[in-house]
Amino acid sequence: MKSVFSLCVQMSRPSIILKFILGLLWGIIHLAISLFNLWSLLIYNIECYLISSGLLWKYRDLHLDRLKYLAIVVASKEAKNNMKIRQLLCWLSTIGVKYVCLYDIEGILKKSFEPAMNGLRDGKAGEYLDIGASVNYSHCGHKEMVIEWLSGSDGKEGIAKAANLLCSTYFSENTHGNGKREPTFTEADMASALKAVGCGGPEPDLLLMYGPARCHLGFPAWRLRYTEIMHMGPLKSMKYGAIVKALYNFSKKYQNYGKLGFQL
């Protein structure tokens, strides 16, 4: 009995040592990855600070001629952080962004900010941008900025409403006509229908996503064709330098907008 027990102890000792070594290796790998992530975060924060303080020359002069329209998608949980949203809008205005669209799927931003925004409904800007009702005109940092507020009802629901309108029109034309016309809707028809139901609007040149997931969360699909998309991380840790860097990177991008260099 004693010899069986000692044999068991001898057999389990190597497995205990092996488990210890594996556990140690696992810990070392985790530590290495954590240190790497910490280092990356430190570099990122230092870069953002240098950009914000104007010490990095190339970010001093932003050429925003190509940025006619900026979109921001915010995860709904973070959209409740009114202070951060106001700060973000002020930063964008300071940088010189003229038109910005804010979107969250639940419409929290629309409910929180649209009635309270200090400003007038700018009908002219709305017409120029082909935007429906949710437009405000804001002063921040002595610069003017047009703000559009969007929610999930402007996304897929908006397209469904436009489809409803197209089909209703087609149905009534067929009822009063010969009834045999094949539907020949085009993209232009859909764009007009979207405008008619209040879900028209320009395609953003750049879309910044704030939130844990790198998704556009149902931003109006019709307007996302060639939009540059950048993930900025959580809203609570947003940085001015990161926004400047994103806009700078956008200004250096080349887009051919789906044009072909040859015929198929």
Partner 1 sequence: MGLFERVINKSVAEFLREGIRLRVIGDSSRLPVSLQKIAREAEEATRNNSQLDLTLAISYSGRRDIVQACRSLARKVHDKVLRPEDIDESLLAAELETSPANKLPYPDLLIRTSGELRLSNFLLWQSAYSELFFTDTLWPDFGEDDYLEALVSFQSRDRRFGVRKKL
Q: Which residues make up the interface to partner 1 (CB under 8 A)? A: 75-77, 105-107, 111, 152, 155-157, 159-160, 162-164, 166-168, 170-171, 174, 179, 182-187, 189-190, 212-219, 221-222, 224-231, 253, 255, 258, 264
Smallest gap from Cβ 21 to partner 1, in A, equals 25
Place of tokens 């979107």: 103
Smallest gap from Cβ 206 to partner 1, in A, equals 9
Nearer to partner 1, 13 or 214 (CB): 214
CA dist 238 and 172 (Å) reads 51
Nearer to partner 1, 12 or 164 (CB): 164
Nearer to partner 1, 142 or 225 (CB): 225
Smallest gap from Cβ 186 to partner 1, in A, equals 7
Smallest gap from Cβ 232 to partner 1, in A, equals 12
Contact present, 216 and 225 (Cβ < 8 Å) = no
Smallest gap from Cβ 157 to partner 1, in A, equals 6
CA dist 139 and 122 (Å) reads 12
103: closest CA among 152, 136, 70?
A: 152
Sheet with strand 228-233: strands edge to edge: 135-140, 143-150, 99-103, 70-74, 206-210, 228-233
- Amino acid identity of residue 36, one-letter, is F
DSSP symbol at 126:
H
Contact present, 204 and 69 (Cβ < 8 Å) = yes
State both tokens at 237.
Answer: 């840790």
Nearer to partner 1, 122 or 154 (CB): 154
Contacts for 252 with CB less than 8 Å, ≥ 6 apart: none
Nearer to partner 1, 90 or 217 (CB): 217
Smallest gap from Cβ 227 to partner 1, in A, equals 6
State both tokens at 216.
Answer: 């556009």
Nearer to partner 1, 98 or 156 (CB): 156
- Burial of 153-174, coded b for 16+ CB within 10 Å and e otherwise, reads ebbeebbebbeebbeeebeeee
Nearer to partner 1, 86 or 156 (CB): 156
Smallest gap from Cβ 10 to partner 1, in A, equals 41
